[in-house]
Structure 1
C-alpha cells in the first residue's frame, strides 16, 4: 500500500455510483462523465490503496471485500457531508449564537429596545447582549475582543478596526428657558431657533462632558481648527446632569438635538442651531478586522444598520440624517 492515500469526495461518489449501478457504463451515464475517465478514477483509487476494489465480470461489476469496506464507509462519509451541507444552509438562513454589541449610553437609549425587538422577531436563535459605555470604552472593548460589534461616534484611527458610517446627527447649542440675571445672551442674537456662530458660543460659560468624552474631544477639535478656545465652566459626563444644570441657569451647553428635544418641546430649555461651522457627528458601526465574522454577528450588524436608518427615517432619532452607503 502506498504511504499516501489521495482520495477525494468526487472519487468516493464515483465509486458508490459504480457499485450501486453494477456497471461502469450505467454509472457513467448517471454521472454524466465519460466511461474511460470513470475507469481511470477507479484505477487511481486501487493504486493508492494497493488493492482491487471491484470485481469485473461479463455480467457487470461487484465490490471486492476491500471494495465493500470502502463502499460502507464512503456512504457514511457522503451522508455526513450531505448533513453538514444542509446544516450550513439552515445556519445561513437561521443563524444562531451570542452576539455582544457595544453602545454609547446616548445611542443605547434610542437603539436598544427597537433593536432587541427586531432581533427577537427575525433571529430567535441569536442571543443579543448589549454592553453600554462611553464611545472610547466601546472602541477599547473592540480592540480587546470583548465585544463583537460596536457603535462609535467617529472613525477609529486603527488599522485593525473597520467602521462604516450610518447616520449623522446634528449638535445644537441650548440654554435655560429663563436665564439667571447676568447669564442672558445678547438680545440681538437671542431669538430661539436662529443660528449662532460657534465662536460666539465658545465664549459663553459652557457645561460640557469631561475631556475623555468623545463629544468634548470633537468640540475642542472644531474650536481649535476655527482658532478659538472653549470657555468650559463645568465638566459633567452625564447628559441628564448637564441638562439639569443648564435648566437651573448655571451655563449653556452643546449636545445632540435628540438629547434635548423633549425638554425643548416642554419649554424647559431653549435651543439654537450652530453655524460657522455647523457641528455634526457621525454614527458608525464598527468591528475588528482580525476576528472572523460569524453568521450571527453579520446578521446583527446588518440589522443594526437597518434599525438605525429606520430610527432616522421615521423621526424617532431627532436630528439624525442617513448617510449614503460607502462602496464596499
Structure 2
C-alpha cells in the first residue's frame, strides 16, 4: 500500500465511477482498476461493489476511506511543512571563523544574508582556530571554520581548502621574496607567532618543526592586529597565509617568501557539533559558506589555496 494507491482509492470512492476517477487522476481507467485490484488483494477483502453504472464502497472500503483521508492529509501536511520550512528560512545563527577567512568571504556572506535572507540574523564571531573550536563545543556558535581541528568524536567536519603558509614580513627582515626559505631557517629570524589556544596552534601538520619555531619566537600573540603591527613596524616576521595581508602585499609594505622543507600546509574545515539537530538555517548558511569559499579559490582571490579533494 502506498500513497498513490490511496489517492486512486479515494478518487473512486468520491466519483463512484472508474472512468471519472481516472480522468480526475490523469491516468488510464485500466491502470486505476489494476491498482484497486492490487489493493484489494493486499488487504484480502473487497473494497467496492461493482455495478453496471459504477462502483460503491463496501463497509471495508468505507473504513479504509476514513484512514486514507487521514493518511493523505498527514502526508500533505508533512510535505508542506518541509517545503515552507525550506523556503522560509529565519532565525539567529552564530558562525565562528578566523580573521583571514573573514578577510576573503566575510563581506560576501554578510551581503548574501542581508539581501537574500531578510529574516536571518547573523553573528560572525572572529577567533583563532583553538578559540573558535572551544566556542563550538560550548554552543556559542553553531558552526565554525577551523584550520586543522584535533580529531574527536564530538564534531562532524567537511574539508574545504588546503592553504599554503608563507614567511611574511618586511623585505629587510625576511630577504628576497622570490627565493624560498627552509622552515628551519625561519627560526633564525625575529619571529612573532600567533598563539591559538586550546588546540596548541592549528597552523601546520608538522608539530616538530612548529615547536622549533615556537622555541625561537621572541613574541607570541593571540591577536591578529598585534601580529600585523609587529610585521609592519619591522619588529618581526611570521608564518601565515597570504590572504592575511593581501592589501599589504599589493602595496609592497610586506612581502611573502615561500617556505620549503617542508612547505607548511593547513586544511580549512567546516565544523559543526555531531549531536546537534540539523536546521534549515544552518544547512543554508553552511552551503553558502562552501559556495563562497569555492568561488574565492576559483577566482584567484584566495592566493595559496586549493580546493580539498
Calculate the TM-score normalised by the size of structure 1. Answer: 0.72
In 2, are the aligned partners of 1:14 and 1:38 still within 8 Å (CA)? no
In the alignment, what sits opposite 1:50? none
Q: Give the Cα separation in 2 of the matches to 1:320 and 1:288.
A: 29
In the alignment, what sits opposite 2:219? 234
SS across alignment from 1:235: strand
Map 1:120-269 onto structure 2 (within 5 A): 120-124=114-118, 126-176=120-170, 190-210=175-195, 212=197, 216=201, 218=203, 222=206, 224-225=208-209, 228-229=212-213, 230-269=215-254
Q: Deviations over 1:50-74 (max 9, x none)?
A: xxxx888886555689987975785
In 2, are the aligned partners of 1:156 and 1:163 still within 8 Å (CA)? no
The equivalent position to 2:288 in structure 1, one of 303, 307, 315, is 303
Q: Deviations over 1:93-128 (max 9, x none)?
A: x35133432212332233222012234445555544
In the alignment, what sits opposite 1:20? 14
Map 1:22-41 onto structure 2 (within 5 A): 22=16, 29=29, 31-33=32-34, 36-39=37-40
Bigger drift between 254-263 and 77-86 goes to 77-86
The CA deviation at 1:9 is 5.7
SS across alignment from 2:289: helix
Q: Give the Cα separation in 1 of the matches to 2:282 and 2:46.
A: 42
Q: Give the Cα separation in 2 of the matches to 1:279 and 1:237.
A: 20
Aligned residues: 300
In 2, are the aligned partners of 1:102 and 1:131 still within 8 Å (CA)? yes
Change over 3 Å in CA distance of 1:56–1:194 after alignment to 2: closer
Q: Give the Cα separation in 2 of the matches to 1:87 and 1:226.
A: 51
SS across alignment from 1:107: helix
In 1, are the aligned partners of 2:130 and 2:202 still within 8 Å (CA)? no
The CA deviation at 1:146 is 4.1
Map 1:65-104 onto structure 2 (within 5 A): 75=69, 78-92=72-86, 94=87, 96-98=89-91, 99-104=93-98
List alignment gaps of at least 5 residues for structure 2. Answer: 23-28
Q: Cα RMSD over matched residues?
A: 3.9
In 1, are the aligned partners of 2:97 and 2:124 still within 8 Å (CA)? yes
Q: Give the Cα separation in 2 of the matches to 1:66 and 1:213.
A: 67
Q: Give the Cα separation in 2 of the matches to 1:132 and 1:171.
A: 20
Q: Give the Cα separation in 1 of the matches to 2:294 and 2:233.
A: 35
In 1, are the aligned partners of 2:159 and 2:269 still within 8 Å (CA)? yes
Calculate the TM-score normalised by the size of structure 2. Answer: 0.76
Larger Cα Rg: Structure 1 or Structure 2?
Answer: 1
SS across alignment from 2:269: strand
Q: Give the Cα separation in 2 of the matches to 1:202 and 1:216.
A: 17
In 1, are the aligned partners of 2:129 and 2:149 still within 8 Å (CA)? no
Change over 3 Å in CA distance of 1:102–1:25 after alignment to 2: same
SS across alignment from 2:34: coil
The CA deviation at 1:152 is 0.8
List alignment gaps of at least 5 residues for structure 1. Answer: 1-6, 47-53, 179-183
